[in-house]
Structure 1
Amino acid sequence: MRPLLDEVQLLEDYHKGTLPEDQQLDVEVRLLWDQELQQKLARQQRAYKVLRMYGRRQLRAELEAIHVRLFG
């Protein structure tokens, strides 16, 4: 199980751009050759996008509730 978590963390750091340069290059090379890793990265990026959209909706709903309380 741990190698799977390590890979998720690696892809997250790659996505955020927080990997050291040598690791960044290593991931980029692996992505060129490993279709499964490409798919994992794509799924992880979609998950981040969905979470951001959900967070924005939640924030929008909270702001609307505040507006209604303040201005009726």
Structure 2
Amino acid sequence: MRTSLNELKQIEDHLLRLSPPDDTLLFAAKMILDTNLRSNVLLQQRTYTLVQQYGRKQLKAEIEAVHQQIFSNTAHQTFVDKILSLFKK
């Protein structure tokens, strides 16, 4: 069964803590009563975690590429020397 857009919005608001406290309490009660809702919340939470991990992996790859470009290019040697001197002290 396809999750409705309203339910998806409620799940998102709950997971991102955008809901007011009374709505959060009501949503928690709904999750206790509705196993499908609870399952959808867990799946959405897992999706957010995977997206976050993917984003971190991509950022690390971009940082490593910049690092390789700067530290392997002789045109940037003065900059590299200044950076390395900061860590020698």
Residue 34 of structure 1: aligned partner: 34
Structure 1, unpaired ranges of 5+ = none
The two structures, once aligned, show a CA RMSD in angstroms of: 1.1
Which one has a bigger Cα radius of gyration?
Answer: 2
Post-superposition shift, 1:16?
A: 1.1
Unmatched 5+ stretches in structure 2? 73-89
Runs of 4+ in structure 1 deviating by more than 3 angstroms, as ranges, are none
Give the alignment's TM-score, normalised by structure 1. 0.92
TM-superposition CA deviations, 1:8-63 (whole Å, max 9, x none): 11101101111012211110100111100000000000000000000001000000
Aligned partners of 2:18 and 2:45: how far apart in 1? 15
Residue matched to 1:4: 4
| TM-score (structure 2 length as normaliser) | 0.75
